Amino acid sequence: MFISKEPGSVRADILSGFTVALALVPEAVAFAFVAGVPPVVGLYGAFMMGLITSIFGGRPGMISGATGAMAVVMVSLVKEGNAMGGAGDHAGLQYLFATLILAGALQIAAGGLRLGKFVRMIPSPVMMGFVNGLAIVIFLSQLGMFQSAGTWLGGAELGVMLGLTAATMAIMVGLPHLTTKVPAALTAILAVSLVTIVAGIDTPTVASFIADRGGDGIEAGLPSFAVPVIPLNFETLAFIFPYAGILAAIGLIESLMTLNLIDELTDSRGDANRECLAQGAANITNGLFGGMGGCAMIGQSIINIKSGGRARLSGIVASVGLLMFILFGARYIEMVPIAALVGVMFMVVIGTFAWNTFRILNKVPVADVAVMGLVTGLTVAFDLAVAVLCGVVVSALVFAWENALRIRARKHVDEQGVKHYEIYGPLFFGSTTLFASKFDVAGDPDEVVVDFAESRIADHSAIEAINKLAERYQAANKRLRLRHLSPDCIKLIRRAEKICDVNVLEDPEYYVAVDNYRRSLTKALGGRDAASIDGENLRELAREGRRLHATDPR
């Protein structure tokens, strides 16, 4: 997807913001119905999420609002909350607001602990699977717009709907070739709306869309402050905490993945930890002012940047514009044909999907293709959090397996009859078995040197592998020495002394015989050969050698 890397302007941000505000209306209303809450709660949620994250978030130009990924989780929360509060009550909504406050606190904690940086660990195949899956989800969500009173449109009504949708898409494709001074999406929405109203074309509008789902329109007043009315006890905490954790995780994953995608599209870089803080603050505000909460919206974010929105102003205009629609412009917005908004979202689908996936299928490892397919499928079938988590886990296991097979050992015997094992490749939990198979304890001479100059001890499993190897040589009355351990490996081994019982030579602790240590020990002993020292002084001399090595690596 090509998106201009040029910086935006105030004019572009304002026009882009109004475009996004129009696109937010049906999305917020639809997700409110999914969650089982009144439409105005979804609209308030989109307004507050968008405003706070636009001002304080870590990614200028990114749009946040009510999202389907979080709405799906809210369904069970609201239903169970209503049951706990009794029939006919709106207790479910109160439990939702309390859950949003707790979820926001968890997101702020994640930002304070600087956990946002871990988004960089998401592999490229997972990112591509996420983008493709989300494009499919956006596409499927728009198909519901072709229904009226629960039944699919047909005949002339369907033909008109498809024609207006195609006209919207055609304007968005053709207008940038004529001029880029006005956003194509906004122009398409206004043009199709004008034609529909002037010609008196009978087609579903925002008003009919809301009415079909049992709503009363989008007109309302300002959101008001109210503390959620729920019992303050352990039972309530036990009920809302799991939902809060899931909502916080889904919100952060989708927001940070969207941030990463927008970074790539605009050739810039956002602040993931700052975005975590802003998302948390926005959800807490939603809980206190009657909104349904949410997170970053990839569709609206792409509409914004494709329309020229780059600065925080575009998001502020979008959220304030949405509030103006609620307060003053409801009857005008309700006249907008659904087909125009569907056409815009279909263009978002086309622009979001990573079409180069098909071009690289035969050029990347089979495991990467499998991960892309897995993440895409899980995003569509379940939700983003499950898809990304599974994708990262599978990618990590594939990486571990491939690196486990890279451990090697070159072997030779020097003129003194000492056998050397030169290890290369990482030694970690996945490669310990292959590492152990490289040694011939029974056939080796009395002195063996294991050289780690081209390897690295990575974890406790690696230490245990060396421990067991040392025990095998000790049981055979043979001498084992470790050489050329990097400083981080030595540090890891020192930490392991408290949890590992390792006998190398006569040292009951971990005696690391490195060439640098030998020179340091020889210097400390006034010229005596460190290799000739053993017995009760060995431990003290090893410590002295380590101290000298730390201060003088030579």
Could you read off the pLDDT of 227-278 as tens digits, one per residue?
999 998 999 999 999 999 989 988 998 899 899 889 888 888 889 999 999 9
Cβ atoms of 265 and 258 closer than 8 Å: no
Q: Report pLDDT digits (tens) over 93-111.
A: 999 999 999 999 999 999 9
Q: What is the end-to-end Cα distance of the chain in Å, rounded?
A: 54
Residue-wise pLDDT for 387-421, tens only, equals: 888 999 999 999 888 888 888 999 999 988 999 99
Q: Average pLDDT in the 156-180 region?
A: 91
- Range with the lowest mean pLDDT among 310-324, 462-476, 494-508? 494-508
Adjacent-strand bridge partners of 426? 456
Mean pLDDT across 21-29: 85
Residues 103 and 251: beta-carbon distance below 8 Å:
yes
Residues 259/62, Cβ–Cβ less than 8 Å: yes
| Token pair recorded at residue 256 | 């940070």
Segment 202-220, tens digit of pLDDT: 999 888 888 877 777 788 8
pLDDT band at 439 (very low <50, low <70, confident <90, very high): very high
Pairing of strands 479-483, 64-65: unpaired
- 3-class DSSP state of 277: helix
Residue 287 parent element (H or E): helix 272-289
Confidence of residue 89 (pLDDT cuts 50, 70, 90): low
Average pLDDT, the chain: 83
pLDDT above 70 (res 59): yes
Give the pLDDT of residue 327.
Answer: 93
Give whichever of 21-25, 26-30, 437-441 has the largest mean pLDDT. Answer: 437-441
The structural domains of the chain, ordered by start, are: 10-397 (no CATH), 405-513 (3.30.750.24)
State the pLDDT at residue 47: 96
Above 80 in pLDDT, residue 526?
no
pLDDT at 371: 94
